[in-house]
Amino acid sequence: MKAIRVSEYGGPAVLKLEEIPAPQPAQGQVLVRNHAVGINPVDTYLRSNTDNRGPKLPYTPGSDAAGVVEAVGAGVGSVKPGDRVYIGGSVSGAYAELSLCTEAQVHPLPGNASFGQGAGMNVPYATAYHALIHRGHGAEGETLFVHGASGGVGIAAVQIARARGMTVIGTAGTPRGRQLVLEQGAHHVLDHGAPNYLKELTDLTGGTGPDIILEMLANVNLQNDLGVIAMRGRIVVIGNRGTVEINARFAMNKDAAILGMALFHASPAQLAGIHAALVEGLRNGTLRPVIAEEIPLAQAPRAHEAVMAAGHHGKIVLVP
Ligand code: NAP
């Protein structure tokens, strides 16, 4: 089968298309033929070995894809060959024609969702759900500020929060991104590049500030978040690309909580609950991943450049 392989850490050019043996499912495993593969920023951090967290070389990147079950190993009861599925992690990697998964990594893809949308589910939607519900304890009637709402996680957060009955305010850096954020259900949208957008945020909340902030770029925004968060508010740090100096007195003055989160810390029970909710959201139409661009598998380096560029308006997917 064709797969993208990484044999040395580095820039996008280390992503090479190779022919490798197709994996076979052992007991409790599922082999999925991928029709679309989701690209996430974390794939680029692992490729360049940021924070020394790169996988053992050589490896096939990616954790997100959607396709059709090709074969199952002994003891697998939840899916059968021919079923449409999306995957949340795999044993063998996702940037490939086939992915070998454990049974728990495979989730049903309802007929109303495309394979591209299925490929946009795992990291973005599971992260948004874990951050908003498990970490932030977002509740109906509260106001959520999605600081960076035009990307994969941000759009997911907007849709999940709207379905939960929250008031949602999002940001994006371009007119196209802001239009998309509104279309996905945000009540209001702001420009995180504009000089006075945080004043507009405070005004939109009647002066109290948002109850929860989901933060996509904490190294830029954390101090400002502490300035605008409501009394007893929660700031959930999802994304961070550097260091930041904060005045902790701002947190004291608001009884505010700064909560870190990483999806890979979610327990198996939490992940099972998250995906049960996500599958139902796909089925009932409240969750609708937005695909910005489909790129052939062989052009994975271009996909890695695109996912790190500014001006987001949805997910980038690879097509094997
Ligand atoms: P993405 O699709 O690349 O989107 C990035 C988002 O950040 C866009 O909405 C972008 O808006 C926005 N942004 C750019 N400049 C900003 C600023 N100054 N203030 C606020 N937002 C800004 O990425 P993603 O997949 O949504 O992931 C977002 C971040 O979370 C990434 O850093 C990713 O690594 C991280 N993440 C963490 C976890 C975890 O487990 N903790 C899981 C998934 C992702 P414009 O392009 O419109 O400017």
Q: Looking at the domain assignment, is residue 45 inside a domain? A: yes
Range of the domain at 222: 124-263
Contact indicator for 186, 157 with CB cutoff of 8 Å:
no
In the block, residue with structure tokens 């990483």: 262
Shared domain for 170 and 247, answered yes or no, is yes
Closest ligand 1 atom number to CA of residue 174: 47
Indicate if ligand 1 lies below 6 Å from the C-beta of 147: yes
Shared domain for 257 and 294, answered yes or no, is no
Shared domain for 128 and 259, answered yes or no, is yes
Q: Looking at the domain assignment, is residue 278 inside a domain? A: no
Shared domain for 32 and 71, answered yes or no, is yes
Shared domain for 146 and 113, answered yes or no, is no
Number of independent structural domains in the chain: 2
Nearest Cα residue to 92 out of 23, 20, 35: 23
Q: Is the peptide bond before 23 cis (omega within 30 degrees of 0)?
A: no
Shared domain for 132 and 253, answered yes or no, is yes
At position 258, the amino acid (one-letter code) is I
Shared domain for 226 and 312, answered yes or no, is no
Angle at 103 between CA 285 and CA 88, to 5 degrees: 50
Indicate if ligand 1 lies below 6 Å from the C-beta of 154: yes
Q: What counts of helices (H) and strands (E) characterise the chain?
A: 10, 15
Q: Looking at the domain assignment, is residue 135 inside a domain? A: yes
**CATH number of 213's domain:** 3.40.50.720
Beta-sheet strands, E only, within the chain = 2-6, 15-19, 29-38, 64-72, 84-88, 98-102, 106-108, 143-147, 167-172, 188-191, 212-215, 234-237, 257-260, 291-296, 315-319
Q: Does the pTM exceed 0.85?
A: yes
Closest ligand 1 atom number to CA of residue 130: 40
**CATH number of 12's domain:** 3.90.180.10
Q: Looking at the domain assignment, is residue 180 inside a domain? A: yes
Say how many Å lie between the CA of residue 242 and the centre of ligand 1. Answer: 13
Q: Looking at the domain assignment, is residue 248 inside a domain? A: yes
The tally of CA atoms less than 13 A away on the side-chain side of residue 308 is: 15
Nearest Cα residue to 151 out of 317, 293, 307, 288: 307
Q: Looking at the domain assignment, is residue 73 inside a domain? A: yes
Shared domain for 134 and 240, answered yes or no, is yes
Helix ranges (H only) for 60-163 are 115-119, 122-129, 152-163
Last residue of a domain, one of 227, 247, 263: 263
pLDDT attached to residue 312: 81
Residue nearest ligand 1's atom 32 by CA: 239
Closest ligand 1 atom number to CA of residue 42: 34
Shared domain for 297 and 259, answered yes or no, is no
Residue nearest ligand 1's atom 7 by CA: 148
Q: Looking at the domain assignment, is residue 182 inside a domain? A: yes
Summarize the chain as % helix, strand, coil (round to 5).
35, 25, 40
pLDDT attached to residue 197: 98
DSSP lists the bridge partners of residue 308 as none
Indicate if ligand 1 lies below 6 Å from the C-beta of 307: yes
Shared domain for 222 and 305, answered yes or no, is no
Q: Looking at the domain assignment, is residue 275 inside a domain? A: no
Say how many Å lie between the CA of residue 37 and the centre of ligand 1. Answer: 19
Indicate if ligand 1 lies below 6 Å from the C-beta of 217: yes
Say how many Å lie between the CA of residue 172 and the centre of ligand 1. Answer: 10
Indicate if ligand 1 lies below 6 Å from the C-beta of 224: no
Residue nearest ligand 1's atom 42 by CA: 127
Shared domain for 17 and 115, answered yes or no, is yes
Shared domain for 63 and 89, answered yes or no, is yes
Give pLDDT tens digits along the chain (320 positions): 999 999 999 999 999 999 999 999 999 999 999 999 999 999 999 999 998 999 999 999 999 999 999 999 999 999 999 999 999 999 999 999 999 999 999 999 999 999 999 999 999 999 999 999 999 999 999 999 999 999 999 999 999 999 999 999 999 999 999 999 999 999 999 999 999 999 999 999 999 999 999 999 999 999 999 999 999 999 999 999 999 999 999 999 999 999 999 999 999 999 999 999 999 999 999 999 999 999 999 999 999 999 999 988 889 999 99
Say how many Å lie between the CA of residue 92 and the centre of ligand 1. Answer: 26
Instruction: Give every CB contact of residue 40 below 8 A, 6+ residues apart in sequence.
Output: 62, 63, 64, 123, 124, 152, 307
Residue nearest ligand 1's atom 29 by CA: 239
Return d(Cα 204, Cα 270) in angstroms, integer: 34
At position 50, the amino acid (one-letter code) is T
Residue nearest ligand 1's atom 18 by CA: 192
At position 173, the amino acid (one-letter code) is G
